Structure 1
Amino acid sequence: MSTTTFVAAAQAATSSEVLNVIAAFTGGLFIAGALVWAVRFGMRVMDRELPHPSPEEQPKLPAGGAVHEIREMREPDEVPHAEGRERLMPYQLHHSGSRTGKDQRRRRWLPGSSGSFGSGGLGHV
């Protein structure tokens, strides 16, 4: 390999490395500028929003205290058959779709009864 070929190859490699560094620096400047613009835009949007409520304007608990969850067992209502009539519309059904059950004891899972995987048997023994 002659000296002129080696020098030309070194110059080509150096110029492509310099171009890569310049491209990376330019890309970084572009991303940094975009981030600065996004932060300034977000600050302008926040300045236009309504102010946060003061502590006196915050919601208060009702006089009776906190509202608690009510748990009850429900039984399904029978859907009336529409034989010879037009089909029933949802607003023609009972408002909640079910009624309070007579037995309010919560059903529990019993070992040996049906589980989530098949018949509830003992499995492979």
Structure 2
Amino acid sequence: MTTASTQLAAASGLMSLVLFVVAVGVLALLAGGFWMNSRVKYRESDRPRADEQPGLPVDGPVGEVQENRESAEVPQVPKGGRPLTPYELTNMDSRPSASKDRPRWSRGSSGSFGGGGLGSH
């Protein structure tokens, strides 16, 4: 056996020892994580029983409501006035629409901005 092969064998032995120590460290971290998780779960309150669950309202289940909504108009800026910033525009509320007709997309339109599809046929 030459001196070079002896040095190579010693270096690989040291490398395998380092990898073993790193693997043991990772396993210790995982085990510690499971241990801490079990301690946290043990301190949590119990799950509610079936009789503690919320029930239906007295009037019965709430039905589905279908209505058309109209959004509020964006305020117009007077001529020569400065434009409004997004912070000056409030949360634009909507209100029930007087019309009972459901809005339909125009023929050949996909109905969404940038949908890229062929649209209704």
Runs of 4+ in 1 over 6 A off after TM superposition: none
- For the aligned residue pairs, the C-alpha RMSD in angstroms reads 3.4
Corresponding residue number in structure 2 for 1:32 = 27
Corresponding residue number in structure 2 for 1:110 = 106
Aligned length: 107
Corresponding residue number in structure 2 for 1:7 = 2
- Could you say if the C-alpha distance between residues 101 and 23 of structure 1 is closer, same or farther in structure 2, counting changes exceeding 3 Å? same
Amino acid at match of 1:28: A
SS of 1:70 mapped into structure 2: coil
| Gaps in structure 1 of 5+ consecutive residues | 1-5, 91-95, 118-125
Amino acid at match of 1:112: G
| Gaps in structure 2 of 5+ consecutive residues | 79-87, 115-121
Richer in helix (by share) = 1
Amino acid at match of 2:29: A
12, 21, 24: which is aligned to 1:17?
Answer: 12
User: Please, what TM-score do these two structures have when normalized by structure 2?
Assistant: 0.67
Q: Give % identity.
A: 31
Give CA deviations for 1:70-125 in whole Å, capped at 9, x if unaligned: 232223456788x9xxxx996xxxxx8343211122111132358635xxxxxxxx
Corresponding residue number in structure 2 for 1:123 = none
User: Please, what TM-score do these two structures have when normalized by structure 1?
Assistant: 0.65
SS of 1:13 mapped into structure 2: helix
21, 38, 44: which is aligned to 2:39?
Answer: 44
Deviates more, 1:26-35 or 1:55-64: 55-64
Corresponding residue number in structure 1 for 2:52 = 57
SS of 1:60 mapped into structure 2: coil
Amino acid at match of 1:72: E
- Could you say if the C-alpha distance between residues 111 and 24 of structure 1 is closer, same or farther in structure 2, counting changes exceeding 3 Å? same
